[in-house]
């Protein structure tokens, strides 16, 4: 028979064991899943922090740790970390995502999108082009870029030129650029960035590539005519600085310092230009020739295929795709979800012309996504060709674009 002292020892041991089990249960209940999230733009930190805070407020057992990796290092980081399973659970992707899809590194969200009823019709087709491959969803659209022409009202007023109106034509645009040009400033910044020439190509009835991304159209008549039109603005009309001028002073700096009156650029520049020009900032859609042209590109939230926390990562992407989630990011970029358009416009209510950055996205064309995972290489060839043409006052645009297409085609056929 157990004596009293032995009974106390036994009871104490049992109590300690029970306490230990209780602590283990409590600890397990309190343990949080940590999701690693990579993105590349420091300028969007405020919006991403707001998104993370909103998600964590409704998902108490999940913590999201974000890491900003500069664009110059971003894709190399994914190349080295995703195959080994040491990369992020969630990441931004864009038109450069196709090699990662082909390598099986991005999670196929298709079944989860369908089972959870995520309405992909809420996102512009041109943005979905960078996240849907062969009918499978590898990213939930995050945002898109709106393209427009920013202009300096003070220069228009000084020169007695009427502000441009939606629906203006190429001829209107050219006449305006010339009328705004004098010894102190140029009418337009016809720099080598693709925002202007790609948008004008579409407005002229042109196109970039075939649907399969394997046949390049840059040397076709409508495209060559567009490039010649911009080249003439520089070297015939004298209404734009030359490419050599832009090497000395960047186009945006020229615009913000009153050296050019009109500047083609994207929605990412709105706050910067507004800070520089204040009430003198105007925004207008691009001029049209055959039709109104609109081009866009966008980002998506994607997941690692071999991630350790697929369910939790999906919950984050699903929240980020919702109106609630995208409303939280209006300070960062234009939300891809059409239901958040009004929230973005309200956030930018101080700029009544900001609607021109979002008006035409429903009919916008995606920036080119080249086949065989050659987008990066083909874009480099394109940049070299445009730079060569813009640097030469006597450039043969047709010959340069013929060579550009030949070089791209060789890369696509490798």
Q: Is residue 306 part of a domain?
A: yes
> What angle, rounded to 10 degrees, do the helices at 194-203 and 221-235 form?
130
pLDDT of residue 25: 42
Residues 65 and 103 in one domain: yes
Residues 90 and 110 in one domain: yes
Residues 280 and 353 in one domain: no
Residues 263 and 387 in one domain: yes
- Does 18 score more than 90 pLDDT? no
What does the pLDDT average to over 202-220? 96
pLDDT of residue 31: 85
Average pLDDT, the chain: 92
Residues 275 and 387 in one domain: yes
> What string of DSSP letters covers 261-283?
EEEEEEGGGHHHHHHHHGGGEEE
pTM: 0.89
- Could you tell me what percent of the chain has a pLDDT over 70? 93
19-28, 63-72, 264-273: which range is least confident on average?
19-28
pLDDT classification of 325: cutoffs 50, 70, 90? very high
Residues 321 and 211 in one domain: no
Q: Is residue 353 part of a domain?
A: yes
Rounded CA-CA distance 367/103 in Å is 23
Q: Is residue 3 part of a domain?
A: no
Residues 187 and 125 in one domain: no
Residues 220 and 120 in one domain: no
> What angle, rounded to 10 degrees, do the helices at 397-412 and 375-391 form?
160
Write out the residue range of the structural domain in which residue 288 sits. Answer: 148-295+370-412
Q: Is residue 251 part of a domain?
A: yes
Structure tokens belonging to residue 54:
């909103």
pLDDT of residue 257: 97
Q: Is residue 84 part of a domain?
A: yes
Q: CB–CB of 214/371 below 8 Å? A: yes
For the chain, the domain total comes to 2
Residues 319 and 398 in one domain: no
- Does 345 score more than 70 pLDDT? yes
pLDDT tens digits for range 224-236: 999 999 999 999 9
pLDDT classification of 30: cutoffs 50, 70, 90? low
Rounded CA-CA distance 24/376 in Å is 51
Residue, of 177 and 373, whose pLDDT is higher:
177
Task: List the CATH number of the domain containing 86.
Answer: 3.40.190.10
The closest alpha carbon to 260, from 181, 200, 194, 192, belongs to: 181
- Does 87 score more than 60 pLDDT? yes
> What string of DSSP letters covers 164-209?
P-TT-BHHHHHHHHHHT-SSS-EEE---SSHHHHHHHHHHTT--SB
Q: CB–CB of 385/401 below 8 Å? A: yes
Q: Is residue 168 part of a domain?
A: yes
What does the pLDDT average to over 399-411? 98
Q: CB–CB of 8/16 below 8 Å? A: no
Residues 343 and 262 in one domain: no
Q: CB–CB of 65/35 below 8 Å? A: yes
Rounded CA-CA distance 294/235 in Å is 26
Rounded to 5 degrees, what are φ and ψ at 178? Answer: -65, -45
């Amino acid at each position: 028979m157990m004596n009293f002292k032995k009974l106390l020892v036994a009871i104490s041991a049992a109590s300690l064991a029970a306490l230990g089990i209780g602590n283990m249960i409590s600890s397990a209940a309190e343990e949080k899943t940590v999701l690693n999230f990579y993105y590349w733009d420091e300028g969007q930190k405020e919006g991403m922090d707001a998104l993370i805070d909103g998600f964590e407020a409704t998902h108490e057992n999940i913590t999201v740790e974000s890491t900003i990796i500069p664009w110059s290092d971003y894709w190399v980081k994914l190349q080295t970390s995703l195959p080994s399973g040491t990369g992020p659970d969630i990441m931004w992707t864009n038109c450069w995502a196709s090699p990662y899809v082909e390598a099986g590194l991005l999670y196929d969200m298709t079944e989860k999108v369908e089972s959870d009823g995520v309405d992909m019709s809420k996102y512009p087709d041109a943005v979905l082009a960078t996240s849907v491959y062969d009918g499978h969803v590898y990213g939930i659209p995050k945002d898109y870029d709106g393209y427009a022409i920013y202009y300096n009202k003070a220069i228009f007023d000084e020169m007695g030129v009427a502000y441009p109106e939606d629906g203006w034509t190429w001829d209107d645009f050219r006449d305006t650029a010339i009328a705004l040009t004098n010894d102190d400033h140029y009418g337009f910044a016809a720099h080598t960035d693709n925002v202007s020439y790609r948008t004008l190509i579409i407005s002229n009835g042109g196109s970039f590539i075939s649907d399969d991304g394997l046949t390049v159209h840059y040397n076709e008549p409508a495209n060559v005519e567009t490039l010649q039109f911009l080249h003439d603005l520089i070297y015939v009309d004298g209404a734009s600085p030359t490419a050599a001028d832009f090497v000395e002073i960047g186009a945006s700096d020229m615009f913000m310092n009153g050296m050019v009156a009109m500047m083609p650029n994207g929605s990412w520049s709105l706050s910067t230009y507004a800070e520089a020009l204040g009430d003198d900032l105007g925004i207008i859609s691009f001029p049209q020739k055959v039709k109104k042209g609109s081009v866009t590109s966008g980002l998506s939230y994607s997941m690692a295929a071999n991630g350790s926390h697929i369910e939790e990562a999906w919950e984050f992407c699903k929240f980020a795709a919702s109106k609630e989630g995208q409303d939280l990011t209006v300070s960062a970029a234009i939300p891809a979800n059409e239901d958040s358009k009004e929230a973005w416009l309200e956030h930018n209510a101080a700029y009544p012309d900001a609607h021109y950055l979002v008006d035409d996205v429903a009919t916008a064309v995606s920036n080119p996504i080249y086949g065989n995972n050659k987008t990066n290489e083909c874009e480099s060839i394109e940049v070299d060709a445009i730079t060569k043409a813009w640097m030469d006052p006597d450039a043969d645009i047709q010959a340069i674009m013929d060579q550009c297409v030949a070089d791209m085609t060789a890369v696509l056929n490798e």
